[in-house]
Amino acid sequence: MADNDNQPETKIVSVTGKRCEVDTQSWYEYKWKEQQETPRRLEDAAKFLSGTISICLAPFFAVQERP
C-alpha cells in the first residue's frame, strides 16, 4: 500500500472537438489526395528523366561506335 502513496495523482482529460469548416475540410481532402498521388507522380518523373537521359546520351554512343 505504501507504493500507491508515491504515485502521481491521475487526472481525467476530456477532449472535445467540432467539425471543420468547409474551407478546412476541402484543404484536408486536397492534401490527402495529393499524398496518395505522390508515388504515381514520382514514377512518371523517373520515366521522363530516364527517357531524356537516354535520348541525350544516344548521340555520344553513336559517335563512338563509328570508326
For 11-62, what is each residue's pLDDT tens digit?
887 778 788 888 888 999 999 999 999 999 999 999 999 999 999 998 888 7
- Report the alpha-carbon distance of residue 36 to residue 11 in Å, rounded: 39
pLDDT of residue 53: 95
Q: What are the helix (H) ranges across the chain?
A: 2-5, 22-65
**Torsion (CA) 31, 37, 38, 39 in degrees, nearest 10:** 150
Residue 53 lies in a domain: yes
Residue 32 lies in a domain: no
Parent domain of 52: 43-67
* Number of domains, the chain: 1
Residue 5 lies in a domain: no
Which pTM value belongs to this model?
0.50
Residue 52 lies in a domain: yes
Q: Is the pLDDT of residue 66 over 70?
A: no
- In a 3-state reduction of DSSP, which class is residue 14? coil
Provide the mean pLDDT of the chain. 84
